[in-house]
């Protein structure tokens, strides 16, 4: 088995690269994927999103080590183990990230990854449908593989949330992925014609119709490196260990958890750590596995005095009806992830672009599908987006089958606590606006009696959950930066013929959900791999609040 390019992982970035690298019939490409098929309603039905990320069949099932800042809790860290990777089990929320996020990447050493550089790739990948709801058509892509839609926002609570934000003095935005991220407005989803539009549906399946692309189901054990050059990948399938040879390059796109693990198993990483596990050092890169970041969030839940929430479907009959309506007609609540209103706001004066994100949901329910006992309710998922806390992914053993150690170090920076308390109080302020008067019942979580800083901190410690946005563990930067793992062309520093391209290369976490930026990385990395000139930069100026220095709104 050999090919010009071997891609490890068929997820958001891997699928995009498989599609782009195989467009030229003279390139042969093999994608290595451990997970199986994505066929079936649990993955394809958007409304069923709480199931696949809790199913061992589709999820690697990682857990963090006990987190000191969260009272020793071990948090779930789902990663997709299926074609399409995490894009097949995620919440389908589509956010590009703020323009300033990418300018920060460029300033920190990821030259050529500023907003002007990445915007053309977002346009290339998107097939955006505004659904007649406004938006910034000039900033959006019209014929890419990735369909992006908006929910119908039929439920009155979606509009109520946006109105309440405006009543509290915040901006409105018609398109947070366009010129103006800041404000309250419609949320976008990777859903098309009522189905999850994963990277598998958008990129991998169309590309697999080409004769020069092959998908191999196997477990990748390590990258084979000879004389400082990656020459293949050692895999296990059917109980046999074999090597797949790469004529040109090996590209690791195995997630921010598995990509650093694979590099370390292959001898690339902090030398002392590799030596502890008896692994011969090929390249001493202290940054491998470091710089781990994520978004934490809380659900602020409020009872609803009118029986208009999704709770009415939250019974066996309701779920069966929603399922049947989706299966046969591609209609009903099953066709949406139900995240249809959003907000991006700034926490205080002096912050120049949003650092708090809201997902609004017209039901009070947890990610694992446990509904609030109170019945009808609504909730806002809220959290700070640029925590200064950093964690690490390290090896537990040299056995490729062993899960790595994952420590996020959540809430280890003192500012995290003040930021989170502000998020709770701000949400209460929004829910207290006149727009919610006809719907507002009692506060379910945290509960009206949780008021003081200490009480809020205790609630955060017990209830904060990951938004499942891990990234940063193979940081992109200057070749002379000792903490960088890949250079701005995604080449692993110190090894030839090897690249990493997925969310692990983010120098710093972007605003919002990471599926969009991960696919963009796959798109842009493809041009670097093929030795093409990057798409010409576009100098579009993002909207920055003129009051940013004096007000949070």
Q: Compute the chain's Rg from CA coordinates.
A: 23
What mean pLDDT, rounded, does the chain reach?
Answer: 96
- pLDDT(293) > 80: yes
- 90 annotated among ligand-binding-site residues: yes
- 25 annotated among ligand-binding-site residues: yes
- pLDDT(105) > 90: yes
- 143 annotated among ligand-binding-site residues: no
- pLDDT(16) > 90: yes
- pLDDT(271) > 90: yes
Q: What is the pLDDT of residues 377-397, one digit of tens each?
A: 999 999 999 999 999 999 999
- State the DSSP H helix or E strand holding residue 238, giving kind and residue range, or none if neither: none
pLDDT at site 314: 82
pTM for the whole structure: 0.98
CA 533 to chain centre: 27
Q: What is the pLDDT of residues 500-511, one digit of tens each?
A: 999 999 999 999
Name the band, by pLDDT with cuts 50, 70 and 90, for residue 347.
Answer: very high
- 8 annotated among ligand-binding-site residues: yes
Average pLDDT over residues 56-78: 97
Range list of H helices, 179-315: 199, 205-207, 255-265, 271-276
- pLDDT(370) > 80: no
Q: What is the pLDDT of residues 120-164, one digit of tens each?
A: 999 999 999 987 777 899 999 999 999 999 999 999 999 999 999
Under 8 Å between Cβ of 466 and 391: no
The answer, yes or no, to whether the previous bond of 446 is cis (omega within 30 of 0) is: yes
Under 8 Å between Cβ of 113 and 122: no
Q: Bridge partners of 407?
A: 392
Question: Is 133 part of the annotated catalytic residue set?
Answer: no
Output the six-digit token pair for 476. Answer: 């992109």
* Number of alpha carbons in the 13 Å side-chain half-sphere of residue 102: 23
pLDDT at site 315: 84
pLDDT at site 11: 98
Q: What is the pLDDT of residues 520-550, one digit of tens each?
A: 999 999 999 999 999 999 999 999 999 999 9
Strands (DSSP E) along 365-475, which ranges?
377-384, 392-394, 405-407, 440-445, 465-466
Name the band, by pLDDT with cuts 50, 70 and 90, for residue 215.
Answer: very high
- pLDDT(368) > 90: no
- pLDDT(484) > 70: yes
pLDDT at site 91: 96
Average pLDDT over residues 466-494: 98
> Which candidate in 98, 277, 469, 533 is catalytic?
469
- 33 annotated among ligand-binding-site residues: yes
Name the band, by pLDDT with cuts 50, 70 and 90, for residue 54.
Answer: confident
Under 8 Å between Cβ of 5 and 251: yes
Name the band, by pLDDT with cuts 50, 70 and 90, for residue 374.
Answer: confident
Average pLDDT over residues 42-64: 94
- pLDDT(372) > 70: no
- Fold annotation for 1-60+78-148+196-287+473-539: FAD/NAD(P)-binding domain (3.50.50)
Residues whose CB is less than 8 angstroms from the CB of residue 405 and which lie 6 or more positions away in sequence, other chains included = 65, 393, 394, 395, 396
- 383 annotated among ligand-binding-site residues: no
- Fold annotation for 152-186+296-384+412-463: Cholesterol Oxidase; domain 2 (3.30.410)
pLDDT at site 44: 96
- pLDDT(232) > 80: yes
Closest CA to 15 of 33, 28, 37: 33
User: What's the CA gap between 353 and 99, in Å, rounded?
Assistant: 9
pLDDT at site 50: 86
Q: Delimit the CATH 3.50.50.60 region(s) of the chain.
A: 1-60+78-148+196-287+473-539
Closest CA to 161 of 319, 420, 345, 417: 345
Average pLDDT over residues 301-316: 92
Q: What is the pLDDT of residues 398-428, one digit of tens each?
A: 999 999 999 999 999 999 999 999 999 999 9
- 447 annotated among ligand-binding-site residues: no
pLDDT at site 316: 84
pLDDT at site 367: 63
- 372 annotated among ligand-binding-site residues: no
- 24 annotated among ligand-binding-site residues: yes
Put the strands of the sheet holding 146-150 in their side by side order: 126-128, 146-150, 188-189
């Amino acid at each position: 088995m050999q090919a010009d390019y071997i891609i490890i992982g068929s997820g958001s970035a891997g699928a995009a690269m498989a599609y782009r690298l195989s467009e030229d019939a003279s390139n042969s490409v093999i994608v290595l994927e451990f997970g199986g098929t994505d066929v079936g309603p649990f993955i394809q039905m958007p409304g069923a999103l709480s199931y696949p990320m809790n199913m061992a069949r589709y999820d690697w099932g990682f857990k963090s080590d006990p987190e000191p800042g969260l009272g020793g809790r071990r948090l779930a860290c789902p990663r997709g183990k299926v074609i399409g990777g995490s894009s097949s089990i995620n919440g389908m929320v589509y956010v590009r990230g703020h323009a300033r996020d990418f300018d920060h990447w460029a300033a920190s050493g990821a030259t050529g990854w500023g907003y002007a550089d990445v915007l053309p790739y977002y346009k290339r990948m998107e097939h955006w449908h505004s659904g007649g709801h406004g938006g910034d058509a000039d900033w959006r892509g019209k014929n890419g593989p990735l369909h992006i839609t908006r929910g119908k926002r039929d439920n009155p609570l979606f509009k109520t949330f946006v109105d309440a934000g405006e009543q509290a003095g915040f901006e409105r935005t018609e398109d947070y992925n366009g010129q103006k991220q800041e404000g309250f407005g419609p949320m976008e989803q990777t859903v098309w014609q009522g189905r999850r539009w994963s990277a598998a549906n958008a990129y991998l399946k169309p590309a697999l119709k080409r004769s020069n692309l092959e998908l191999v189901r196997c477990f990748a054990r390590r990258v084979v490196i000879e004389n400082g050059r990656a020459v293949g990948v050692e895999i296990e399938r059917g109980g046999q260990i074999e090597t797949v040879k790469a004529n040109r390059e090996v590209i690791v796109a195995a997630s921010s958890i598995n990509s650093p693990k694979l590099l370390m198993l292959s001898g690339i990483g902090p030398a002392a750590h590799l030596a502890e596990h008896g692994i011969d050092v090929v390249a001493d890169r202290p940054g491998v596995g470091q710089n781990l970041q994520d978004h934490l969030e809380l659900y602020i839940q409020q009872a609803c005095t009118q029986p208009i929430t999704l709770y009415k479907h939250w019974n066996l009959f309701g779920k069966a009806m929603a399922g049947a309506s989706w299966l046969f007609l591609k209609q009903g609540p099953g066709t949406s992830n139900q995240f249809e209103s959003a907000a991006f706001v700034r926490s205080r004066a002096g912050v120049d672009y949003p650092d708090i994100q809201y997902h609004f949901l017209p039901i009070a329910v947890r990610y694992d599908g446990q509904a609030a006992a109170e019945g009808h309710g609504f909730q806002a998922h809220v959290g700070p987006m640029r925590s200064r806390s950093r964690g690490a992914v390290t090896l537990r053993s040299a056995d490729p089958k062993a899960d790595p150690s994952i420590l996020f170090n959540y809430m280890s920076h003192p500012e995290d606590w003040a930021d989170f308390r502000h998020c709770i109080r701000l949400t209460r302020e929004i829910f207290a606006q006149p727009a919610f008067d006809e719907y507002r019942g009692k506060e379910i979580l945290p509960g009206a009696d949780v008021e003081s800083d200490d009480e809020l901190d205790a609630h955060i410690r017990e209830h904060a959950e990951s938004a499942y946005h891990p990234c940063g563990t193979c940081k992109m930067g200057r070749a002379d930066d000792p903490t960088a793992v890949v250079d701005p062309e995604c080449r692993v520093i110190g090894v030839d013929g090897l690249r990493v391209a997925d969310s692990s290369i983010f120098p710093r976490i972007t605003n919002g959900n990471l599926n969009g930026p991960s696919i963009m990385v796959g798109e842009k990395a493809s041009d670097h791999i093929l030795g093409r000139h990057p798409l010409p930069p576009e100098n579009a100026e993002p909207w920055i609040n003129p009051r940013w220095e004096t007000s949070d709104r």
